Amino acid sequence: MLSRTFASLGIPGFRALWFGMLLLMAAVNIQMLARGYLAWELTKSPIAVVVVGAGFAPPILLLSLYGGAVADRISRKKIIQFGQVGMLTIILTVGISISTGTITIYHLVAASVAQGTIWAFLMPARQTIIGQLVNEDQITNAVALNSSGMSLMTVAAPAIGGLIYGFAGPAVTYYVMAVLTAVALLLTGLVPGIAPVAHAKRRIWGDIKEGLVYTLHNRTVLVLLLVALSTALLAMPFRTLLPVQIEEVFKKEVEALGLLLSMVGVGALIGSLVIASLSKNNHRGWVLLITSMLSGVTIMLAAATTSYAVAVVIMVFIGLGDSGRRALNSSLIMEQTDEEHRGRVMGVYMMNFGLIPLGALPLGFIASSFDVRIAFGLAGAALLVSAIGYTALTDLVRKL
């Protein structure tokens, strides 16, 4: 079981991609904490925190289809490298703004939007290059290991980032992120260059249309995308509003936020490693549906508690639920898609993240007008109902 769990890391190209991803995701997770807390310090507004946290979503919604088509036309390695250069530029710009005392909430919103633009191209390329670096029967293992690396950074990075932010301030925190991103760029250079899977035979909008038609006619992929949509709308905004819960409910500071996010990562790391060990005979569709239900239940429990210690434990189970969304959902979509269309289908998958404001903004208004716990409770209940609905109404996922 252990050898099966880490099998894909024996491939040098995937190993270089994986270590580069570790460092990039360390920077991203520190940034989620730093940017959210800095937005709260600058404004003391839950709505402002949500806007900054969800600012990446509109460009992802608008550009992911284009990014997926580009991933089928251009070297995916080059797309990843250009994306990392863009991330580094944005991080350094914000860090310098903090150092010079010119930082405003508008800088943070602009940075979030710019990173969303980059993410719309970088993520379809990152996900689909995995299928080129490993064998077809190793896709679930490789995607789950990719997710476990993200989860590992969700464990370590926020706690470290919270300490850096608390003791050295936001500027130093951003410079640390810049160093991590720069080293990730160097590691990505070790990934072998792979030729594009498709040739530019027509206008790119023709490719996008073909990808949408392919997705609509692949019913299993369509249902898996709907499962991803419900978790993006209802589970992701939960993290965005955690800074509000930390201060208003638990009466604590940024270091406490780092620990909560790290506990989410602990659960997601455990879950994704278990998923990496699964074979096609392990009822993976049921695992996906159960982890979605688990996310709904645990978010409702997080809404109910006023104890920080209890919340720390709950976050581990929220992370377990996250592992199904992060690892299993995307790997099943890739398995059910042919290589020629994977970039475009993953572009559609990325659009789910662009729809996060549809869940985040209403929850922000509820938290601002009533209580953040009410917002969490409604999100968790809606996620649980949707997961039960997918389980009861179709067997397309249950049979995977």
Q: Note the pLDDT tens digit of each residue in 359-390.
A: 777 877 887 778 888 888 888 888 888 888 88
Share of the chain above pLDDT 90, in %: 10
Whether residue 239 is contained in a domain is answered as: yes
CB 236 within 8 A of CB 363: no
Residue 95, token pair as written in the block: 């860090």
What is the per-residue pLDDT for 205?
76
Q: What pLDDT, on the 0 to 100 scale, is given for residue 200?
A: 55
Residue 398 resides in a domain: no
Contacts of 62 (CB under 8 A, 6+ apart): 120, 354
pLDDT reported for residue 197: 64
Residue type, 301: L
pLDDT tens-digit readout, 242-253: 877 887 788 877
Average pLDDT, the chain: 82
| Residue 122: C-alpha distances to residues 70, 125, 181, 298, 358 (Å) | 10, 5, 14, 31, 23
Residue 66 lies in a domain: yes
Instruction: Print the domain residue range for 215.
Output: 2-393
76 falls within a domain: yes
In three-state form (DSSP H/G/I as H, E/B as E, the rest C), the secondary structure along the chain is CHHHHCHHHHCHHHHHHHHHHHHHHHHHHHHHHHHHHHHHHHHCCHHHHHHHHHCCHHHHHHHHHHHHHHHCCCCHHHHHHHHHHHHHHHHHHHHHHHHCCCCCHHHHHHHHHHHHHHHHHHHHHHHHHHHHHCCHHHHHHHHHHHHHHHHHHHHHHHHHHHHHHHHHCHHHHHHHHHHHHHHHHHHHCCCCCCCCCCCCCCCHHHHHHHHHHHHHHCHHHHHHHHHHHHHHHHCHHHHHCHHHHHHHCCCCCHHHHHHHHHHHHHHHHHHHHHHHCCCCCCCHHHHHHHHHHHHHHHHHHHHHCCCHHHHHHHHHHHHHHHHHHHHHHHHHHHHCCCHHHHHHHHHHHHHHHHCHHHHHHHHHHHHHHCCHHHHHHHHHHHHHHHHHHHHHHCCCCCCC
Q: Indicate the residue type of 208.
A: I
At 192, which CATH number?
1.20.1250.20
pLDDT at residue 348, as a whole number? 81
The answer to whether residue 145 sits within a structural domain is yes
Q: Are 277 and 361 in contact (CB under 8 A)?
A: no
How large is the average pLDDT for residues 109-115? 90
Is the residue at 399 inside a domain? no
Highest mean pLDDT among 36-45, 203-212, 268-277: 36-45
The pLDDT tens digits for 278-295 are 766 677 788 888 888 888
Average pLDDT of span 95-116? 89
Q: Exposed, middle or buried, 41 (CB in 10 Å: 0-12/13-18/19+)?
A: exposed
Average pLDDT for residues 345-352, to the nearest whole number?
80
- Total domains in the chain come to 1
Q: pLDDT tens digits for 198-233?
A: 655 667 777 788 878 888 888 888 888 888 888 777
pLDDT higher than 90, residue 134: no
**C-alpha gyration radius of the chain:** 20
Q: Does the pLDDT of residue 261 top 70, yes or no?
A: yes
Q: Output the pLDDT for position 182.
A: 94
The pLDDT of residue 176 is 92
> What is the tens place of the pLDDT at every residue in 84-94?
999 999 999 99
Written as six digits, the tokens of 225 are 């995308």
Q: How confident is the model at residue 3 (pLDDT cuts 50, 70, 90)?
A: low
- What pLDDT digit, counting tens, does each position of 143-185 carry? 778 877 777 776 678 778 888 888 888 899 999 999 999 999 9
In a domain, 400, yes or no: no
Is the predicted pLDDT of residue 1 greater than 70, yes or no? no
* Cα–Cα distance for residue pair 118/60, rounded to 1 Å: 8
Output 304 or 158, whichever has higher pLDDT. 304
